[in-house]
Amino acid sequence: MKTLTVSVVTPDGPVLEDAYQMVSCKAESGELGVLPGHIPMVAPLTISAVRLKKEGSSERIAVSGGFLEVRPDKVTILAQSAEKPSEIDVDRARKAKERAEARLAQKQSDIDFRRAELALKRAINRLDVKENNF
């Protein structure tokens, strides 16, 4: 079976580089599935899980936005942050979620609201990836 080389890179350095049969992720325009031989494209990503499939197994990585670059034999994800389930600190993510929910409940300025909303999405995504990795 054909594979794609998948690279996940953040400003702190590479997070993952391996061969997979399929990559699924959530772009701003909707859900994307990439198989070997896909046409070249670039798409902005949302805060979500990237699902990677190979030989009957799946992995997930939590990404906080960024870009997906697709070439026929390679997928590169340039993310602001990306974490494998083994790297996610559940206590830290839960505390971040609680802080964001408290800030959202206060309803202060629009800027604080948007930052708290994004922080909440990141925390929920991290918890989801950690708890539902398959």
Separation of CA 111 from chain center: 23
pLDDT at 90 over 90: no
Please compute the mean of the pLDDT values over residues 101-107 and round it to a whole number: 79
Label residue 50 by pLDDT band (50, 70, 90).
Answer: very high
* Domains in the chain, CATH or no CATH each: 4-85 (2.60.15.10), 89-131 (1.20.5.440)
- Identify the pLDDT of residue 15: 92
CB of 44 within 8 A of CB of 70? no
pLDDT per residue as tens digits for the range 53-85: 998 889 999 999 899 999 999 999 999 899 988
pLDDT per residue as tens digits for the range 4-49: 999 999 999 999 999 999 999 999 989 999 999 999 999 999 999 9
- Identify the pLDDT of residue 100: 83
- Identify the pLDDT of residue 134: 43
Which is higher by pLDDT, 5 or 91?
5
pTM for the structure as a whole: 0.80
Q: Give the list of residues 6+ apart from residue 72 with CB closer than 8 angstroms, or none.
A: 36, 37, 38, 39, 40
